[in-house]
Structure 1
Amino acid sequence: MTKMVKTIEPVRQKVLKELRPKKRVCAYCRVSTDSTKQHTSYVAQTKYYKEYIKKRGEWEFTGIFADESSGTKVKNRDEFQRMIRECEKGNIDLIITKSITRFARNTVDSIETIRTLKALGVSVYFEKENINTISEQSEQMLTILSSIAQGESENISTNVRWGIHKRFGDGSYIPSSVAYGYAKDENGELIIKEDEAGIIRRIYNEYLSGKGSYAIARDLTCDNIPTIRIAEKWNEGVIKQILQNPIYSGELLLQKTYTTDVLPFTKKINHGELPMYSVKDSHKPIITMEQEERVQEIYEYRRAQMGMDDSDKYQNRYEFSSKIICKECGGIFRRQKIYIGKPYEKIQWCCVNHIKDRKNCTMKAVREDIIKDAFLTMWNKLVSNHIEILYPLLESLKKLRVNKEQEEEILRLNNKISELMEQSHILHRVMIKGYMDSAIFMEKQNAINIEIEEYKKRRNVLLESNGYEKEIEGTNRILQIIKYNPVIMDEYQEELFIHTVDKVLVGKNGDITFRLINHLEFTEYIAKR
């Protein structure tokens, strides 16, 4: 039996051609980051592409999208993203760009974007390579050429880093941005900015007089002191950064951060992966060496008393970030400002699901100062009753352990970590006394931190299979903190919250539950305001 086959002709392009007599064409380019050249470059390229497109009667010019010629990630280019959105809206049929290196230097980004555009019926034409992505053979060639472009970008980055490292080594490097309290003269040398330097001296003097970082930040805010340039407000973290920065005693510490070698380039804190460079007497100091040494002694003493080490640094921007949970829907609370610009401006935290749709979650926002007051009340109660609460809990948890060999190995690793932390504290005191150069100190400190990290990894593997060890470790940690801070607190301390609280659970009835690092929960009730 003969089968009747009928070909159904493709009609999409035919219909589109009838609906859109002219193909809508845009251009994408990247212009110079030099502001003096940027406008000239943009005008020249706009003129070129207008003339180029108008030569084709079947094309219609729909604009030019231009980004600064720097970033290697597509997501960092605003104009590029705007162009893609226009394509998604159906406003562009063809994109013209000079070359693959102008379009994307990251192979993955390049191919993924081209595939997305092809699915939308949008093609990209690369002038230099004479490739149109609408053709079937284009992807293999684009993959090869994009890989070459990515390699070129990585080679350029390597050469730039080599030049920077050379300047690090001979002391000729000039930082692109300067710390609060300093400015740069016409030769790029650091000079004191007196209005900001006065604030730096105030911070050091108040810390030396016994005031804590949180109290210093609070008083600066109350006095309406302009904030540090990179900060939204004065807070405890900003004050600690200032107190720990050797730049104020005349020392410049270089390569505290570094960028990865391959795409996507990522900035990371240098924990000993690469060398650091210490430049003594690099510039005029704001504070004396004696003040610097005394501040470091106090800072180190307070950290030792709290049982904290640098390997457990808090990563979130705010101490409450990702920690406050809604009891009604399980959503995470987000930070908000209210009464902005008013004398009574406040910070509050609100459930993300309530923000999106109040029908899905009726939980109302809670002010930040209320959470802090509730924590302070809870902590003071725990300190007053820790003997009756924590010691019996610790004994009960120990009896529930299962594997004796693992328990002994965890204990050995805990002791090793404690020994290394003590070595770190001793090393710091030796450096503060002037018996060790800061560059040698950084080298040895990084080595100790790496050892601590390795022992903690081994311990964590065992913790996963040994019952209640996390609860036991958390209880011991809290007991250690209370041992060195047995008094009732008069004011909220950010570091105390960070190192003792795992989650904060907020309920509708004015109840705030603090789940500590040993999974013990305490609830405080607040008066409705």
Structure 2
Amino acid sequence: MAKKVTKIEPVRQNVIQTLRPKKRVCAYCRVSTDSTKQHTSYVAQVEYYESYIGKREDWEFIGIFADEAKSGTKVKSRDEFLRMMHECENGNIDVIITKSVTRFARNTVDSIEAIRKLKSLGVTVYFEKENLNTLSEQSEQMLTILSSLAQGESESISTNNRWGIQKRFRDGSYRLSTVAYGYTKDEDGELVIKEDEAEIVRRIYLEYLGGKGSYVITRDLNKDQVPTVRTAETWNESTVKEILQNPIYEGDLILQKTYTTEVLPFTKKRNRGEMPQFFIKDNHEPIITREQGQMVREIYEYRRKQMGNDRSEKYQNRYEFSSIIMCSECNGSFKRQKIYIGKPYEKIQWSCTNHIKNSAMCKMKPVREGIIKDAYLTMWNKLVSNYVYILIPMLDSLKNLRINKEQETEIEELNHKIMELTEQSHILSRVAQKGYVDSALFIQKQNALNVELEETKRKRNSLLDSNGFEKEITGTQRLLEIIRYNPVIMEDYDESLFSHTVEQVIIGQKNTITFKLINGLELIEKAGTGGEQE
């Protein structure tokens, strides 16, 4: 007996078409990185896509998303692509038009993941060159093949380039694209001394051998207004340390200090033994003697051990206040310092970096670490004792502020519509169970209701997300949760508690310390004067 088969027509697009008479269409492209060509390229593509999309009466052009054509292999590095995906998630885009699969992404995994996500959102991607529509049947199989070919092409090109570089490493013919400070290149690409910069290199080595540390050398270079390394605005300590450790100044060259991973996504990493390195002795004219280089290395190693900076201890030297303490006077960050080193009364203090460089520019005095911890402990205990009067009313106010009257009315209407659609779905199910509705018709109507319900929920959620105060509300809820689990008055400073509750510490004049909490709330404490130390 032949089976009776009834085709259930897809309803999603029909329902969406009814809800949205015109499809909102955008274009995605990658424009030239050359600033002189970028604007022309962008304008030309805008004109093209406006014309292309404008020819369709059922389409509405909503804009173009354009990333610089640095690389299609990493989606994460493409800000406009990510912004476009966010707009799709908010239900603001129905169709994306792009030139080709290779313009969309050269990474197969990223490409397929993005397309699948867009398909789940009901967003169509149309590739002009391949004449491919992602909502058509068998599109994913074709996209997988095309994206794999594009990825293979990128990896093949990268492999060829890497092989060529490795070959030049081995035979010593490799020419540096960027030369170290103190050198330049002649017409043959060979390293030659740039005398004005070489004088600064010699000064750094001689001062270090004379007993100065890298921080003091950096300070003096800036104080003497010595021209900086290429495009840098000021000298910094890391640059001085790099110069002191680079064997290039002794006339030697080490190649492949970094390497790029072989498969997508291509990532540049520092070579820590994963790849071979190539050492070329007496490659070029030295700026310092080998004896000077060796002595600097010995002193550097000795100081590193004295300061406890062995790599095995690196995680112990990440301080909870690093990058958190700010200056109210100049908005500069605070740096950790040790004073009275080696003495029984050795102390740790935090100082404004601008005050360290020039006390006339910023008059903010250093503050002892113990003072900050005591102030936090006092602030936290006050908050725990009074959270009912501070955090709970704040949470209620934030929830009330997050929506205006118009938004509130629209959200309320959408909520009613969601309830109505849900009720219709339940009624339809009950009718079908009693056999009053044909199965094929039931599935078709149920699918239509589900699509409309999904669209209504997305619109409601988009309104909620756009109302702001998410961070403040979430932060306040988190603080209340922490207090519920830690309701007692703290007797000692807790580093873990600090890191989970404080976003920023602001040091002010007149001994004030402001703690900006994770919900944006700022609480001020007075600090004792005994902790300051110039």
- Give the TM-score band, short-chain normalised: 0.5 to 0.7
User: Corresponding residue for 1:210?
Assistant: 211
Distance in 2 between the 1:239 and 1:90 partners? 51
The answer (yes or no) to whether the contact 1:97–1:103 under 8 Å persists in 2 is yes
1:504–1:514 CA contact under 8 A, matched in 2: no
Answer yes or no: is the 8 Å Cα contact 1:251–1:279 preserved in 2. Answer: yes
Shift of 1:59: 2.4
Residue 60 (structure 2) pairs with residue 60 (structure 1): yes
Residue 277 (structure 1) aligns with: 278
Deviation at 1:333, TM superposition (A): 5.8
- Could you tell me how far apart the structure 1 residues matched to 2:342 and 2:252 are? 40
**How many Å separate the matches in 2 of 1:226 and 1:120?**
55
Residue aligned with 2:115, SS: helix
Q: Which residue of 1 aligns with 2:373?
A: 507
Q: Residue 381 of structure 1 aligns with which residue?
A: 344
Q: Which amino acid aligns with 2:320?
A: I
C-alpha spacing 1:176/1:60, structure 2 compared with 1 (3 Å): farther
Q: Secondary structure at the match of 1:263?
A: coil
- Distance change >3 Å, CA 379–CA 249, structure 1 → 2: same
Counterpart mapping for 1:479-498 below 5 A: none
Task: Give 1:297 shift.
Answer: 3.5
Q: Of the candidates 314, 324, 338, which is equivalent to residue 334 of structure 1? A: 324
User: In the alignment, which residue of structure 2 is the partner of 1:424?
Assistant: none
Identity fraction in percent: 63
CA distance in 1, matches of 2:107, 2:326: 36
8 Å Cα contact 1:504/1:513 also seen in 2: no
What is the match of residue 347 of structure 1?
333
| Matching residue's letter, 1:84 | M
- Contact 1:338–1:347 (CA<8 Å) still a contact in 2? no
Question: 1:334 is aligned with what amino acid?
Answer: I
Question: Could you tell me which residue of structure 2 aligns to residue 156 of structure 1?
Answer: 157
Provide the secondary structure at the position in 2 that maps to 1:324: coil
Kindly state the Cα deviation for residue 162 of structure 1 after the two structures are TM-superposed: 0.9
Query: Which structure has the bigger radius of gyration?
Result: 2
Instruction: Return closer, same or farther for 1:334/1:97 CA change in 2, 3 Å cut-off.
Output: same
Output one character per residue of 1:218-237: Cα deviation in whole Å (capped at 9) or x when no partner. Answer: 33344454554586754443
Distance in 1 (CA, whole Å) between partners of 2:39 and 2:332 is 42
List per-residue Cα deviations over 1:314-372 (Å, max 9, x = no partner): 48xxx97x5216xxxxxx863646655xxxx7423xxxxxxxxxxxxxxxxxxx3xx42
Aligned length: 362
1:33–1:69: 8 Å Cα contact kept in structure 2?
A: yes
> 1:278-336: per-residue Cα shift (whole Å, max 9, x none)?
33444443333343233234334444666765x54848xxx97x5216xxxxxx86364
Give the deviation of 1:276 after TM superposition: 1.4
Q: How does 1:411-490 map to 2 (within 5 A)?
A: none
Cα gap change, 1:237 to 1:338, in 2 (>3 Å): farther
Contact 1:201 1:287 in 2 (8 A): yes
TM-score (norm 2): 0.57
Deviation at 1:29, TM superposition (A): 2.0
Task: Give the equivalent residue in structure 2 for 1:527.
Answer: 530
Q: Give the CA deviation at 1:245.
A: 0.6
- Structure 1 residues 346 and 52, CA, compared in 2 at 3 Å: closer, same or farther? closer
Partner of 1:421: none
Contact kept? 2:218, 2:236, Cα under 8 Å = yes
Alpha-carbon distance in structure 2 between the residues aligned to 1:216 and 1:291 = 17
1:211 Cα offset (Å):
1.4
**TM-score for the superposition, normalised by structure 1:** 0.57
Residue ranges of structure 2 left out of the alignment (5+ in a row): 1-7, 352-368, 378-491, 496-527
Equivalent position of 1:253 in the other structure: 254
Q: Once the 2 structures are TM-superposed, how far is the Cα of residue 21 of structure 1 from its aligned partner?
A: 3.4
Using the alignment, how far apart are the partners of 1:54 and 1:172 within structure 2?
55
Structure 1 residues not aligned, in runs of 5+: 1-7, 326-331, 349-367, 384-487, 493-502, 516-524
- Alpha-carbon spacing, 1:513–1:197, altered in 2? closer, same or farther (3 Å): farther
Whole-angstrom CA distance in 1 between matches of 2:37 and 2:48: 16
Match of 2:296 in 1: 295
Residues in 2 aligned to 1:379 and 1:132: alpha-carbon distance in whole angstroms: 72
1:306/1:54 CA distance change after superposition, 3 Å: closer
Pick closer, same or farther for the CA change 1:46–1:313 going to 2, 3 Å.
Answer: farther
Q: Deviations over 1:414-468 (max 9, x none)?
A: xxxxxxxxxxxxxxxxxxxxxxxxxxxxxxxxxxxxxxxxxxxxxxxxxxxxxxx
What SS does the corresponding residue of 2:220 show, helix, strand or coil? helix
Counterpart of 1:219 in structure 2 is 220
Which structure ranks higher in relative contact order (CA pairs < 8 Å, sequence separation ≥ 6)? 2
Q: CA deviation at 1:19?
A: 5.7
SS in 2 for 1:237: helix
**Where does residue 320 of structure 2 map in the other structure?**
324
Change (3 A) 1:20 1:195: farther
The Cα RMSD (Å) is: 4.2
